[in-house]
Homo-oligomer: A and B are copies of this chain.
Amino acid sequence: MKKRLSISDIAKNLGISVTTVSFILNDKAKEKRISDALTKRVLDYVNKVGYKPNQLAKSLRTGKSKTLGLLVEDISNSFFANIADQIEKLAYDFGYHIVYCSMNNDVNRAKELIQLFYDRQIDGFIIAPTEGLTEVIQKLLKNNVPVVLFDRHLEDLETNFVISENHNGALIGTRFLLEEKKASRVGLVTINSNQLQMRGRMEGYMEAVDAMGKDMLIKKIVRAQADEDTILQIRDFIQDNRLDGVLFATNYLALSGLKAIKRYDLGIEKVVSFDENAVFSLVEPAVSAISQNIHEIARKVVDILINEINGKNKELVQVVVPCEIIAR
């Protein structure tokens, strides 16, 4: 690779000192009362030769990288993809860049990634945490690294977080099935995870079912298993319990469920899922969605993190954002 120009090359070529160049490049020309003429000369030259400061050296020196790390479980999940997109745009307005990482359900990878980012002097973390990350995140917090969790939080961790009103969302969704759709046997398909957002959704479901004096019918799917197994389990769940309505706790569960419904002709028509997905209006039966307010979540996440970095958060900020039902 052709040797890149450094600030001292610039200084030498211009016959001035690196300090002056540095000040000018960092918009401190006025403050340091460097002459307009010189400022212009430097800027023009820098522009002409296309000099770009080495960010690595800059970060090493300043301890700031103007970069935030975003860790999600699966970036191809439409919920995470959308939120990542929003977060990136918002952070950009504050002069921050985002590097993402998809953890793909692998705790060890996730830990390594957090460590990697930390080693690279990332200024702050945005994490949709999985179980098993408690320890690493705890370590970050102990080192005063700015962190904000979203989508869920971890029970024994005192952190900033932004989550959706899961309980209430599930409550509304279930009621929608029972009252609007007049379903009488409504099941919940969720995952066998203790993640708080899943607990909230389950409790919301339970409350709604309970209030109507109906049976609670719950299936917990093993998270890591093959899609085919999931499909079969959902089929059995629906058939064995003669469900006429079903609430899926996540959009990927709904997708597996739809495959089951279609493939085995289960004839179920009343379906609600957490998280909107482009497919839900396309399929038969159409799926109503409990949609999380992605824009609001992203906005809060970025605000909180930037404030944290700037030391403006006096105490923990924990935000719960309402959901909305999209009836189909």
Give A294 Cβ to nearest chain B Cβ, in Å.
12
* A20 on the B face (CB < 8 A): no
A59 proximity list for chain B (CB < 8 A)? 56
A14 proximity list for chain B (CB < 8 A)? none
Bitwise, A254-292 to B at CB < 8 A (1) or not (0) is 010011001000000000000000110111100000000
| Bound Cα distance A213, B75 (Å) | 44
* A43 on the B face (CB < 8 A): no
Known: A56-B60, A99-B99. A81 touches B75 (CB 8 A): yes
* A179 on the B face (CB < 8 A): no
Give A110 Cβ to nearest chain B Cβ, in Å.
13
* A134 on the B face (CB < 8 A): no
CB pair A1–B84 under 8 Å, yes or no, is no
A255 proximity list for chain B (CB < 8 A)? 278-279, 282
Known: A2-B144, A104-B85. A115 touches B52 (CB 8 A): yes
Contacts of A93-133 to chain B: CB distance below 8 A: 97, 99-102, 104, 113, 115-116, 118-121
Give A246 Cβ to nearest chain B Cβ, in Å.
16
| Bound Cα distance A116, B56 (Å) | 10
Known: A1-B143, A262-B282. A84 touches B102 (CB 8 A): yes
* A193 on the B face (CB < 8 A): no
A258 proximity list for chain B (CB < 8 A)? 282
A116 proximity list for chain B (CB < 8 A)? 55, 97
CB pair A54–B119 under 8 Å, yes or no, is yes
Give A80 Cβ to nearest chain B Cβ, in Å.
8
Give A52 Cβ to nearest chain B Cβ, in Å.
6
Give A267 Cβ to nearest chain B Cβ, in Å.
15
| Bound Cα distance A282, B277 (Å) | 14
Bitwise, A56-73 to B at CB < 8 A (1) or not (0) is 110110010100000000
A85 proximity list for chain B (CB < 8 A)? 76, 102, 104
Give A73 Cβ to nearest chain B Cβ, in Å.
12
CB pair B82–A120 under 8 Å, yes or no, is no
Give A63 Cβ to nearest chain B Cβ, in Å.
8
Q: Please, could you name 18 A-B residue pairs with CB atoms under 8 Å apart, sorted by A?
A: A1-B143, A1-B145, A52-B119, A54-B60, A56-B59, A56-B60, A56-B120, A76-B81, A76-B82, A76-B85, A85-B102, A85-B104, A97-B113, A99-B100, A258-B282, A262-B281, A279-B283, A283-B283
List the 4 shortest-distance A-B pairs measured between CB atoms, nearest first: A76-B81, A55-B119, A1-B144, A99-B99
* Besides the known contacts A1-B143, A258-B282, A279-B283, 18 further A-B residue pairs in the complex with CB atoms under 8 A apart: A1-B145, A2-B142, A2-B143, A56-B65, A56-B120, A57-B60, A75-B81, A75-B84, A76-B81, A99-B99, A99-B101, A100-B100, A255-B278, A259-B281, A262-B282, A282-B283, A283-B283, A284-B284
